């Protein structure tokens, strides 16, 4: 689904800002929303709609620009960037869970220094092939490893020294206890 009809890629043309999306409740076991949420007026409403579409236990794979990314602000269609803890409010016991009724468990969350590498799975196959110079790959992997040691330290201090990160990669699981 996309707002733009792209032959060979988009089956359903629909504006993500308009809910409900044209699918029944609990339609999908897996949803991939790569670089979508930063374009939307109300990303929490979109997350609630994606929650509605997932079966209990269904997986939601998300990529969004990190706030320190040049791409977060240079793309005129972007409304907002995201930080490492932006999606924590979707966890049941989080202090700000009152923002939403959607409940997810965070399965995986990381800040990636360079969005074009390393990639795998659906993202590599359909969105971005690994396009990093071979000689730079060890550097990118090392920076990613250092970021993973303390994402908070990276966001508070280090991202301003190394030129910022590319994106945040998340895998969320719809809580099995979710009523909807």
Closest listed residue to residue 111, CA positions, set 76, 173, 77, 153: 153
Q: Among the listed ranges 22-31, 40-49, 109-118, 157-166, which one has the minimum average pLDDT value?
A: 109-118
Residue with tokens 């040691």: 149
d(CA 50, CA 44): 10
- Tally of structural domains, the chain: 1
Instruction: Give the CB-side neighbour count of residue 157, counting CA atoms within 13 A.
Output: 3
Closest listed residue to residue 170, CA positions, set 96, 87, 90: 87
> Does residue 79 fall inside a structural domain?
yes
Entry field: residues in the chain: 180
* Rounded average pLDDT over 6-13: 88
> Does residue 89 fall inside a structural domain?
yes
Classified as helix, coil or strand, 125 is helix
pLDDT for position 24:
97
Question: At residue 180, does pLDDT exceed 60?
Answer: no
> Does residue 65 fall inside a structural domain?
yes
pLDDT for position 126:
67
* Rounded average pLDDT over 13-35: 95
CB atoms within 10 A of CB 95: 8
d(CA 92, CA 20): 23
Tens of pLDDT, residue by residue over 100-128, are: 999 999 999 999 987 766 777 777 666 77
Give me the domain span that covers residue 58.
28-174
> Does residue 12 fall inside a structural domain?
no
> Does residue 90 fall inside a structural domain?
yes
Closest listed residue to residue 53, CA positions, set 77, 82, 30, 72: 30
Question: At residue 96, does pLDDT exceed 60?
Answer: yes
* Rounded average pLDDT over 82-94: 94
């Amino acid at each position: 689904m996309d707002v733009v009809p792209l032959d060979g890629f988009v089956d359903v043309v629909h504006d993500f800002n308009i809910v409900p999306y044209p699918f029944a409740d609990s339609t999908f076991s897996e949803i991939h929303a790569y670089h979508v949420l930063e374009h939307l007026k109300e990303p929490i409403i979109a997350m609630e709609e994606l929650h509605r579409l997932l079966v209990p236990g269904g997986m939601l794979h998300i990529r969004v620009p990190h706030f320190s990314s040049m791409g977060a602000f240079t793309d005129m269609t972007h409304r907002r960037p995201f930080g490492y803890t932006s999606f924590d409010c979707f966890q049941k016991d989080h202090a700000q869970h009152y923002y939403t009724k959607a409940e997810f468990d965070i399965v995986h969350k990381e800040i990636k220094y360079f969005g074009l590498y390393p990639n795998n799975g659906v993202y590599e196959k359909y969105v971005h092939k690994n396009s990093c110079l071979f000689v730079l790959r060890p550097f990118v992997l090392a920076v990613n490893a250092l970021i993973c040691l303390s994402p908070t330290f990276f966001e508070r201090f280090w991202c301003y020294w190394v030129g910022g990160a590319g994106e945040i990669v998340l895998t969320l699981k719809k809580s099995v206890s979710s009523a909807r």
